[in-house]
Amino acid sequence: MKAAICRAFGKPETLAIEDWPRPEARAGEVVVRVRAAGVNYADIVVIAGRYQMKIEPPFVPGMEIAGEIASLGPGVQEWQVGDRVAGLIDGGGYAEYVATSTERLFRMPQGLSFAVAAGTFSNYVTSYGALNWRARLAKGETVLVLGGAGGVGLAAIAVARQAGARVIGAASSAERCALMSSLGAHEAIDYGSASLRDRVAELTGKRGADVIIDPVGGEMGGLALRCVAWSGRIVTLGFPAGGVPSYPANILLVKNAAALGMFFGSYLRHAPGLVREAVSSIQAALVDGSLPTYRIEAFPLAALADVLGELDGRRFTGKAIITP
């Protein structure tokens, strides 16, 4: 089968598309014919050898998949060949076939395409968890979403809007602001031409945002804490801007605020039932239209390195998927 191979840690351009042995399912596993694989910033970190769970080369990256079960391993009874599944796995998704534990797979409802399943799975569940499990978002609160034109940002805007929050999206251009507004942001801030802190103060009557979702990190993540309301919460999801934000404890103290982290992968291990409830709810909402689908663009496996490069440079809006 064809697969994207990481033979040494480095930049995305070091990936090679090569023949790779088709995997076989072990006990408790299935082999999935991958129809779509979501492209995530975490893949860039994995390829560079900087991810929380390090995989030694050579290996096939790719964590987010949708497809059909092609074969069953010993002891697997709850699944059948041909079942449509989506999931977040440890790796191997950028290939025609991948073997994975059934614990990492979720049934896809009729009416949900492979592209949408792979293009929304991690973004929507991560955003749902950040807003509900970590920030405990309440109806009527104000949510500020940084990097609002990226996949996670757009998902957070849609989930917060559905929950009855007032949503302020923040991005770096007028074009990105228009995209955020189309997904439900009540207001959009172009921090490329205006002060984030000043605009949030203006839009909230100097009160600030009750919840701040930060999938960006870097300098902007640190500045965002200045926008938090009294008893507010800031949730960090990652650092694609390049640096880990610093949150001064005096601001947390004076505002009785909380700085929280959200690593979705740990919920798969520690609270799988919570994840399954969220996935079921999100997939149903995507099918009935109560949650919108943002722009999802499909690329062939051969284009993976270029797509990851665009993502690393923060030049991509919406979500990219690979169709092996």
Whether the CB-CB separation of 65 and 37 falls below 8 Å is answered with: yes
Start-to-end C-alpha separation, the chain? 10
Q: Are residues 307 and 254 in the same domain?
A: no
Structure token digits, residue 135: 């920030």
Q: Are residues 202 and 103 in the same domain?
A: no
Rounded-to-10 torsion of CA 162, 244, 205, 161: 0
Q: Are residues 226 and 151 in the same domain?
A: yes
H or E element in which residue 161 lies: helix 151-162
Q: Are residues 135 and 247 in the same domain?
A: yes
Per-residue model confidence (pLDDT) at position 318: 85
Q: How far is CA 89 from CA 61, 188, 197, 203, in A?
A: 10, 34, 38, 40
* Residue 82 DSSP symbol: T
Domain boundary, last residue among 223, 243, 264: 264
284 occurs within a structural domain: no
* Residue 315 DSSP symbol: -
β-bridge partners, 30: 72, 100
Q: Are residues 160 and 255 in the same domain?
A: yes
Per-residue model confidence (pLDDT) at position 220: 82
Domain boundary, last residue among 224, 246, 264: 264
Q: Are residues 88 and 180 in the same domain?
A: no
256 occurs within a structural domain: yes
- Number of structural domains (the chain) is 2
Whether the CB-CB separation of 216 and 190 falls below 8 Å is answered with: no
Domain boundary, last residue among 264, 281, 315: 264
Closest to 232 in 3D by CA, of 127, 132, 140, 142:
142
Range of the domain at 84: 2-108+294-323
Q: What is the pTM of this model?
A: 0.92
Q: Are residues 186 and 94 in the same domain?
A: no
Whether the CB-CB separation of 241 and 221 falls below 8 Å is answered with: yes
Q: Are residues 55 and 151 in the same domain?
A: no
Mean pLDDT for each 10-residue chunk of the chain (324 residues)? 96 95 96 97 91 87 97 96 96 98 95 96 95 98 95 95 97 93 95 91 97 90 91 91 82 95 90 94 95 94 95 86 96
272 occurs within a structural domain: no
Per-residue model confidence (pLDDT) at position 241: 67
> What is the CA angle 318-241-292, rounded to 5?
20
Contacts of 289 (CB under 8 A, 6+ apart): none
113 occurs within a structural domain: no
277 occurs within a structural domain: no
275 occurs within a structural domain: no
Q: Are residues 27 and 90 in the same domain?
A: yes
255 occurs within a structural domain: yes
157 occurs within a structural domain: yes
Q: Are residues 89 and 199 in the same domain?
A: no
Q: Are residues 150 and 238 in the same domain?
A: yes
Q: Are residues 165 and 59 in the same domain?
A: no
Q: What is the CATH number of the domain that holds 235?
A: 3.40.50.720
Strands (E) in the chain, as ranges, are 2-5, 16-19, 29-38, 64-72, 84-88, 97-101, 105-107, 142-145, 166-171, 187-190, 209-214, 228-236, 258-261, 296-300, 319-323
